[in-house]
A and B are shown apart, each in its own frame.
Chain A
Amino acid sequence: MIHIDHVAKRFTAARGRSVQAVADVHLHAPDGCITGLLGPNGAGKTTTLRMLAGLITPDAGRLAVDGLDVATQPRAALARMGVLADARGLSPRLSARENIVYYGRLQGLSRDAAQARAEALADSLDLKPLLERRTDGFSQGERMKTALARALVHDPANIVLDEPTNGLDVLATRALREVLRHLRSPAGGGKCIVFSTHIMQEVERLCDSVSVVSHGRTVASGTVGELLAQTGERDFEEAFVKLAFADELAQTERAA
């Protein structure tokens, strides 16, 4: 269970200029559900997820993972989370297996347990033929799968994915969707999955509930059906544009 409670973050750049990256984002992601964080580019999704991973300290608000406050117990919170960050670089001179086992060891698994998890994840993510190869020449999809396996190596109850479908082709995207559905199901462990994206179709196909973020604020949340009802639209893309770009739409109307 992940709880993001009205967080805010302002970045101060050189020469005194500052940017309000996140103004007021809130999200509640229960176990056994896929919760989407939907927003246009630059809406503050990555910053929010980085605050959740303890990489950035929020100016205001609170983030909790299974009731553990990220600010006061960051390591305990991280141990209960598998994070596929915006940056998902691998060590190019290590094999896929070594990359996965390394993170398993850092998560506190024994060598044998980490090896066993690498095998199991390779099975479910269809990584078997790549396992012993160095990650140097991997394709985007192969890199993503390895990074995902690395993030899931300690079998976390909470999974946080920052734009996981970026750069993936349609088959890889479908495969990823299947994996996430499996992880959500009771057979897959009934995980709590939070996943950010700017693609509406992803949300429609996958998410149990959505939080729409725009200009650093949560502007709406609920199931896809609820959001359609709220905006009175039948097409989710139209609903999203109405919710996320309300200000811009109002301005163009005034101009016209």
Chain B
Amino acid sequence: MNGLSLLAIVLRKELADALRDRRTLIVVLISSVLLGPLVLVALSGLIATLEAQAEKREVVVSGIEHAPALRNFIERQSYVVTPAPADYEAKLRAQKLGDPVLVVPPGFEAALLRGEQPALAIVSDTGNKAAEAGAGRVQRLLAAYARERGALSLALRGVSPQLLEPMQVEERDLASAQGRAAQLTGMLPFFVIMAVVYGALNAALDTTAGERERGSLEPLLANPAPRWALVGGKWGAVFALAMLIAVLCCLSFLPAQWLLRSDTLQAMFQFGWVEAMLFIALLLPLAAALSALLMAVAIRCKTFKEAQANSTVVVLAASLLPLMTLFNQTGEAWWHAWVPGLAQFTLMTRVLKGEALAMQPVAVSLAVCTVLTVVSVIFVAKHLRAAAVR
């Protein structure tokens, strides 16, 4: 019998073995397949609330009776003026009031007419996100009122209002709809990378350190099968499991979008079959490399527990490296493609933004992962015999 068919026999056995470990599978499925969509849906709920508030045309004012002209202006902008509760400060601190409060001092109208530059206060709390978000809106409203007052008094003196605005400012946002959405959906690649890690972890440890701990590695090596076939079959099973979980995780985001509560997010969130397939294609080399690397770490450990402790380094690296892109404000760097995990994260973010994938980083990350896989598998094969008898 040739080596490849022996490899297939080992692969089938290890896969069947791992799939029978129902309890572990269920935990992995819940943590990596369900968690992503759940967080996405929860986040969409938060965004929907913020959107509703942005659309709310309401200003909470304390002492509006001191400024009848301002009230007239606010109402002309089709806003509703609501009197502030007496204990608004306490309520803002306790996050019970979701709007900033505009405070008008007594004698405001008279001071304004005399040209004394009376002061208005916008009371908010940086710890109160909803009130913070509304503060900008109130500020813009007040600026518009100030501009109108100024323009009117100049017009009375025969000055053209255009002198007050010698230039016009126009805003143009270069980000595509998908680009904006990627700020929110940027965590998707993070979840699928975690799915790969946790899909591979248990099987990688069980086929190496677990086999050692059970004492089944020594009898396995008493078979006349070449070592590369044994290791290759084990690696193939771990890789297949990692990809199975990754595929399920990617596909779980497809129905999750129907549950999105925010209309804008739903309109911007572009994750269809094409994106899912691109994700899976990008994850293949990462799953191969991580499976082999975890096995290489675990083969040196005598027990499953020891292997778990040692593999924490790999798990942490795979989960924390993508976070570097969040802290690093300079954007994509050339070396990102050379770091497994980070490379896939960057490429998947590009897919989400609807940008084309450049050949070079794809080729580099594929090459790095292939080398890592081959080196790790050879390492495991070299250590297999020593691991069996120690």
Contacts and interface: CB of A to CB of B under 8 A. Distances in A.
A88 B10 CA distance: 18
A107 B214 CA distance: 21
A86 interface: yes
Contacts of A53: 221-222
B216 A90 contact: yes
A75 interface: yes
B219 A89 contact: yes
Contacts of A78: 222-224
Contacts of A225: none
B219 A87 contact: yes
Given A83-B219, A91-B216, A94-B17, A76 B388 contact: no
Interface in A137-153: 147, 150-151
A98 to B, nearest CB: 8
Contacts of B219: 83-85, 87-89, 103, 147, 150-151
A89 B218 CA distance: 8
Contact of A106 (B20, B21, B211, B223): B223
B17 A106 contact: no
A79 interface: yes
B236 to A, nearest CB: 15
Contacts of A88: 215, 219
Contacts of B215: 87-89
Contact of B16 (A76, A84, A94): A94
Interface string A67-99: 000000011101101011111111111100010
Contacts of B222: 53, 55, 78, 81, 83, 85, 151
A150 B216 CA distance: 12
A209 to B, nearest CB: 24
A87 B217 contact: yes
B9 A75 contact: no
A50 interface: yes
B13 interface: yes
A87 B216 contact: yes
Given A105-B9, A108-B1, A150-B219, A92 B389 contact: no
A56 interface: yes
Given A50-B389, A55-B388, A93 B223 contact: no
Contacts of B1: 108
Contacts of A236: none
A55 B218 contact: yes
A245 interface: no
A70 B19 CA distance: 37
A108 B226 CA distance: 12
Residue of B217, B221, B226 most packed against chain A (CB within 10 A): B221
Contacts of A76: 224
Contacts of A89: 211, 214-219
Given A55-B388, A93-B17, A79 B224 contact: yes
A66 B16 CA distance: 36
A106 B214 contact: no
Nearest to A87: B215
Nearest to A57: B385
Interface residues of A, number: 33
B313 interface: no
A66 to B, nearest CB: 13
A92 B20 CA distance: 10
A195 to B, nearest CB: 15
Contacts of B218: 50, 55, 85-87, 89
Contacts of A102: 9, 13
A94 B206 CA distance: 14
Contact of B20 (A54, A93, A107): A93
Nearest to A53: B222
A171 B95 CA distance: 76
Interface in A107-150: 107-108, 147, 150
A75 B221 CA distance: 10
Interface string A181-206: 00000000000000000000000000
A50 B219 CA distance: 10
B285 to A, nearest CB: 29
B385 A103 contact: no
Contacts of A107: 223-224
Interface string B301-341: 00000000000000000000000000000000000000000
B223 to A, nearest CB: 4
Contacts of B216: 87, 89-91
Contact of B385 (A55, A75, A81, A91): A55
A106 B226 contact: no
B154 to A, nearest CB: 85
A92 B9 contact: no
B235 to A, nearest CB: 17
B330 to A, nearest CB: 45
B70 interface: no
Residue of A75, A79, A94, A108 most packed against chain B (CB within 10 A): A108
A106 B9 contact: yes
Interface in B199-216: 211, 214-216
15 contacts: A53-B222, A55-B222, A75-B224, A75-B225, A79-B224, A84-B219, A85-B222, A87-B388, A89-B215, A98-B16, A106-B223, A108-B224, A150-B219, A151-B219, A151-B222
Question: Closest 4 CB pairs between A and B?
Answer: A87-B215, A89-B215, A89-B216, A89-B214
Given A102-B9, A106-B223, 7 more contacts: A56-B385, A78-B223, A89-B218, A89-B219, A94-B16, A102-B13, A151-B219
Interface of B: 1, 6, 9-10, 13, 16-17, 20-21, 211, 214-226, 385, 388-389
Interface of A: 50, 53-56, 74-76, 78-79, 81, 83-94, 98, 102-103, 105-108, 147, 150-151
